[in-house]
């Protein structure tokens, strides 16, 4: 057997991903060692329920309920944080960095909320902080942006970065399910949590978009600066109309520069042309399209969640951390994000085309009233569609495709239209996202 160098690490959290890291290192640890020359050894594992994990076959001598034992062990050089949340996890990561331990985390919410502070602390202490697993599961998007695209200005990133919502929208579009039925199916299959709020409201993707914005532009956008919208209001009417017009509806995380060099960061369900690859990403899969000023368009596709996919990214970070320790490479992890760009652009100033669905009284004068309001706000109409209704019907759906306008103007026009007596229910407003190179 080859004489590999051993790097001891402490694993905090043995949930779905943590268990994946443990079992997959047992499975492929020798492969990692043969490729890197380093054997990764889990010396201590911090959990909340000792009995649960010893019953599952984890050796009792590895387990503790106090993560401080990991940090205080001089043989443990790397801390892997997989406990989730933003309170105890923050304390753990901060304490580990102050103890000069390398840190690997998959905690997107922690980074979105405390990333500025933790990255600054890691730089001060000259220890690396790794977080590949925090965005898009098994897709190596962090490493790609930080290393492979070091010579590029990042012009834009468009990502399907939440598998739960993509599964729901796929099943609604392909099987004709309602939102509620598709969500229930996702929960039955384990693709959605019992409480799916973080996913379906868009905030899981929002946290990831904040991280991608920092990597691309060196700016930690505050949570309150990010416009996030979920998918619960999408119906079969929207999906069918989008298909008829050559579009699919996807929840997109968008990070890009506008023409004034300001930064957009938002998450919204959007109409995407079916001529684009993103329109055909189905099920729980993720895809991230990155546009660089030199390389052009690059696309990263793969499993965005799940035990094996996410643990694969954690193990990759572990191997990098161990290699840096053995070779005394410090915090050499690709380029350091820099702030040479403008401010975060308020969502009201962002520009796109739009799809607007209205439930209206089926009578004369309705379209004229709506058109007048849109014209007053400087918004042109590309097309109007009204599905046929029965002779005795008193209401109908009205679908409008609208010219480019700021989101602020469009929102104001929608709100004014909503106050018309002829409008029934809540209008659905979606962006029509024009991807670079696509019409």
Cα separation of 365 and 347, whole Å? 32
For the chain, give the number of residues.
Answer: 439
Q: Residue 384 forms beta bridges with which residues?
A: 400
Is 208 an active-site residue?
yes
Tokens of 439: 């019409």
In this structure, are residues 42 and 82 in contact, taking their beta carbons and an 8 Å threshold? no
Q: Residue 209 forms beta bridges with which residues?
A: none
- Label the pairing between strands 76-81 and 102-105: parallel
Cα separation of 97 and 345, whole Å? 32
Tokens of 217: 């532009």
How many CB atoms are closer than 10 A to CB 16? 15
Cα separation of 418 and 408, whole Å? 15
Tokens of 285: 């899969």
In this structure, are residues 345 and 226 in contact, taking their beta carbons and an 8 Å threshold? no
Residue with tokens 């890197």: 36
In this structure, are residues 302 and 286 in contact, taking their beta carbons and an 8 Å threshold? yes
Which of 208, 250, 409, 424 is catalytic? The answer is 208
Angle between helices 163-175 and 179-188 (to 10 degrees): 120
Nearest to 126 by CA among 319, 324, 339: 324
The residues assigned a catalytic role are: 208
């Amino acid at each position: 057997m080859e004489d590999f160098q051993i790097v001891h690490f402490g694993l905090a959290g043995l949930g779905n991903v943590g268990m994946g890291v443990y079992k997959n290192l047992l499975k492929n640890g020798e492969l990692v060692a043969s490729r890197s020359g380093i054997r990764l050894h889990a010396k201590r594992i911090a959990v909340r329920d000792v009995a649960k994990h010893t019953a599952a076959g984890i050796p009792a001598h590895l387990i503790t309920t106090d993560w401080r034992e990991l940090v205080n062990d001089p043989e443990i050089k790397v801390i892997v944080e997989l406990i989730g949340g933003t309170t105890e996890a923050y304390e753990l990561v901060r304490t580990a960095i102050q103890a000069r331990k390398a840190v690997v985390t998959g905690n997107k919410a922690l980074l979105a909320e405390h990333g500025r502070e933790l990255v600054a602390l890691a730089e001060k202490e000259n220890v690396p902080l790794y977080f590949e697993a925090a965005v898009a599961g098994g897709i190596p998007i962090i490493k790609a942006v930080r290393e492979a695209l070091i010579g590029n200005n990042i012009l834009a990133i468009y990502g399907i970065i939440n598998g739960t919502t993509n599964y729901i929208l796929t099943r609604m579009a392909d099987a004709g399910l309602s939102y509620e039925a598709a969500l229930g199916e996702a929960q039955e299959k384990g693709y959605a949590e019992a409480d799916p709020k973080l996913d379906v409201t868009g905030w899981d993707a929002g946290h990831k978009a904040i991280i991608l914005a920092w990597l691309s532009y060196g700016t930690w956008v505050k949570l309150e600066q990010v416009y996030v919208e979920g998918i619960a209001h999408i119906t079969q009417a929207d999906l069918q109309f989008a298909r008829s017009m050559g579009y699919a509806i996807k929840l997109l995380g968008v990070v890009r520069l506008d023409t004034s060099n300001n930064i957009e960061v938002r998450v919204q369900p959007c109409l995407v042309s079916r001529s684009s690859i993103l329109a055909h990403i189905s099920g729980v899969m993720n895809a991230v399209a990155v546009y660089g000023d030199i390389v052009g368009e690059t696309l990263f596709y793969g499993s965005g969640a799940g035990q094996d996919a996410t643990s694969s990214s954690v193990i990759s970070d572990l191997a990098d951390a161990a290699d840096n320790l053995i070779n005394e490479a410090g915090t050499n992890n690709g380029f350091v994000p820099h702030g040479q760009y403008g401010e975060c652009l308020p969502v009201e100033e962002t520009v796109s085309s739009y799809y607007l669905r209205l439930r209206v009284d089926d009578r004369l004068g309705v379209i004229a009233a709506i058109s007048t309001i849109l014209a007053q706000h400087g918004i042109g109409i590309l097309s109007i569609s009204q599905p046929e209704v029965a002779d005795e019907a008193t209401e109908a759906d009205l679908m409008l495709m609208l010219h480019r306008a700021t989101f602020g103007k469009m929102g104001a026009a929608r709100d004014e239209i909503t106050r018309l007596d002829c409008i029934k229910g809540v209008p659905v407003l979606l962006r029509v996202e024009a991807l670079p190179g696509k019409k």
